[in-house]
Amino acid sequence: MKQALLSICAAALGLAAAGSASAATTLETVKARGKLVCGVSLATPGFAAPDDKGRMQGFDADICRSIAAAVFGDGDKVEFVPTNINTRFQALQSGEIDVLSRQTTHTFSRDASLGLDFGPTVFYDGQGLMVPKSLGVSSAKELTEAAICTLPGTTTAQNISDFFRAINGKFELVVFESPDENRAAFYSGRCEAITSDRSDLASIRAVANNPADYIVLPETISKEPLAPAFRQNDSQWGDIVSWSVWMLMAAEEKGITQANVDEKLKSEDPDVQRMLGATEELGKMLGLDNKWGYNVIKSVGNYGEVFERNVGEGTKLGLTRGPNALWNAGGLIYSPPIR
């Protein structure tokens, strides 16, 4: 009897192992499908929003394109799936999307409890508050007993509660289900203030009828490291997502741009040669073409180009680099060595 039970257990373990071995990896699934499926926000100018021709534009969209370029050699082989705040993680967990690139904060609880992993921080952000200039306040500490608009399912509510608790202030949090409702309520005066990540506040102000009517208050009340997310227990896919991002950062540090990447193929810099696939075979370690780095940069440019094109000082959002400058320019953007 005991021998029979052992045989049954061994058979069951063998079946489980076989099933696990036969399960397709994310890379295999993406390649078989012929495109990357990337979760983005519903419509956030500067980060992910369709232009007048229907082409998705924005910082997060370009992160998606960099991954598609690494895998396929073509940054346009990506399907953008708009996700809302309440369903974004479920879309990833269920396999509806391959990666989430949606102004998502990397936190302990999300990392440890949702069956997800996070790639490198692509945007160092922090929560702030925005008010109409006509309100006449210059500090968030003056907003006691104010009605504050926000969205559900984010870290925002806890952060704002912690902030006002620390200053013994009172406030009313007014929660709306969609970004459109949230913005409309703020513009209409339903709330004295609106709170979100400072990058998101810049986006909200940019689409107002008169952006100059609104100011973002100086306080940054939290740390919000925004990063792409993917399903855990797939280290190869995690490496592809992470190194696609790091390639953008390393390219800026090395002065490689979308315009000069072909010329840089002739560079005698050993680091540049490795990055662009001119020497060694780093791509094989990821299961990719050896020119994966070249393809990433050719598709979207380097990190600085992605930043400036979508959210930088020359755009409606008008954001400065701040902590999102390279490490050697006073910022936090830093790639591990590509070697």
pLDDT value, residue 335: 98
Outline which parts of the chain fall under CATH 3.40.190.10: 23-124+226-329, 127-222
pLDDT value, residue 155: 82
Residue-wise pLDDT tens digits, 240-294:
999 999 999 999 999 999 999 999 999 999 999 999 999 999 999 999 999 999 9
- Tell me if 252 sits within 8 A of 162, measured CB to CB: no
pLDDT value, residue 23: 67
Say which CATH architecture domain 127-222 belongs to. 3-Layer(aba) Sandwich (3.40)
pLDDT value, residue 152: 87
- Asked if pLDDT for residue 15 goes beyond 50, the answer is no
Q: Which neighbouring-strand residues pair with 215?
A: 131
Residue 6 binned pLDDT confidence (cut-offs 50, 70, 90) = very low
Q: Report H helices in 99-253.
A: 108-113, 156-166, 179-188, 198-206, 235-253
- Asked if pLDDT for residue 33 goes beyond 70, the answer is yes
For residue 294, count CB atoms less than 10 angstroms from its CB and return exposed for 0-12, middle for 13-18, buried for 19 or more.
buried
Q: Which neighbouring-strand residues pair with 147?
A: 172
- The percent of residues above 90 in pLDDT, for the chain, comes to 88
**Maximum Cα–Cα distance for the chain, whole Å?**
83
Residue-wise pLDDT tens digits, 145-172:
999 999 987 789 899 999 999 999 999 9
d(CA 329, CA 333): 9
pLDDT value, residue 8: 34
- Tell me if 259 sits within 8 A of 241, measured CB to CB: no
Q: Is the pTM of this model over 0.85?
A: yes
* Total residue count of the chain as it appears in this document: 339
d(CA 82, CA 46): 15
Q: Which residues contact 193 (CB under 8 A, 6 or more apart)?
A: 129, 130, 131, 135, 140, 143, 146, 147, 148, 149, 186, 217
- Asked if pLDDT for residue 212 goes beyond 60, the answer is yes
d(CA 254, CA 231): 31
Other CB atoms within a 10 A radius of the CB of residue 236 amount to 15
Say which CATH architecture domain 23-124+226-329 belongs to. 3-Layer(aba) Sandwich (3.40)
Which 8-state DSSP code applies to residue 313?
Answer: T
Mean pLDDT of 184-201: 96
Q: Which residues contact 331 (CB under 8 A, 6 or more apart)?
A: 124, 321, 322, 323, 324, 325
pLDDT value, residue 311: 98
Residue-wise pLDDT tens digits, 130-141:
999 999 999 999
pLDDT value, residue 9: 38
